[in-house]
Amino acid sequence: VRARRRGLRTAALAIALAAAVLVAACTPGRGRLATSSTTTVPPAASAAASSCTETPTQSLASFQPGNVSAEAARAQTIKGDVLVVGVSADTFRMGYRNPATAELVGFDVDILREVARALFGDPNRIEFKVVNFERRTGALEDRQVDLVAATMTITCGRWEQIDFSTEYLRAGRKLLVRSDDADRGIQTLDQLAGRRVCATRGGTSLASLQREHPEIQAVGHPDLTDCVVAFQQGDVDAIVSDDIILAGFAAQDPYARVVGPSMSDEPYGIGVRKGNVLLTQFVNRVLENLRAGTWRDLYRQHLGDVLDVPAQPPPAVYGRRP
Element of type H or E holding 56: helix 56-59
Please give the Cα distance from 254 to 233 (Å, whole number).
Answer: 14
Alpha helices in 142-275 (DSSP H): 156-159, 179-183, 205-212, 224-232, 243-250
Which of residues 96 and 282 has its CB atom nearest to other proteins in the complex?
Answer: 96
Binding-site ranges for other proteins (CB under 8 A): 84, 89-92, 96-100, 102, 127-132, 135, 223, 225-226, 228-229, 232, 249, 252-253
Of 254 and 310, CB closest to other proteins:
254
CB 126 within 8 A of CB 110: no
Rounded to a whole number of angstroms, the minimum distance from the CB of residue 236 to other proteins is: 14
Of 23 and 256, CB closest to other proteins: 256
What is the 3-class SS of 76-133, one letter each residue?
CCCCCCCEEEEECCEECCCEEECCCCCCEECHHHHHHHHHHHHHHCCCCCEEEEECCH
Tell me how far apart the alpha carbons of residues 283 and 290 are, in angstroms, rounded to a whole number.
Answer: 10
Q: Which is nearer to other proteins, 33 or 130 (CB)?
A: 130
Helix (H, G, I), strand (E, B) or coil at 244: helix
The residue among 248 and 269 lying less far from other proteins, judged by its C-beta, is 248
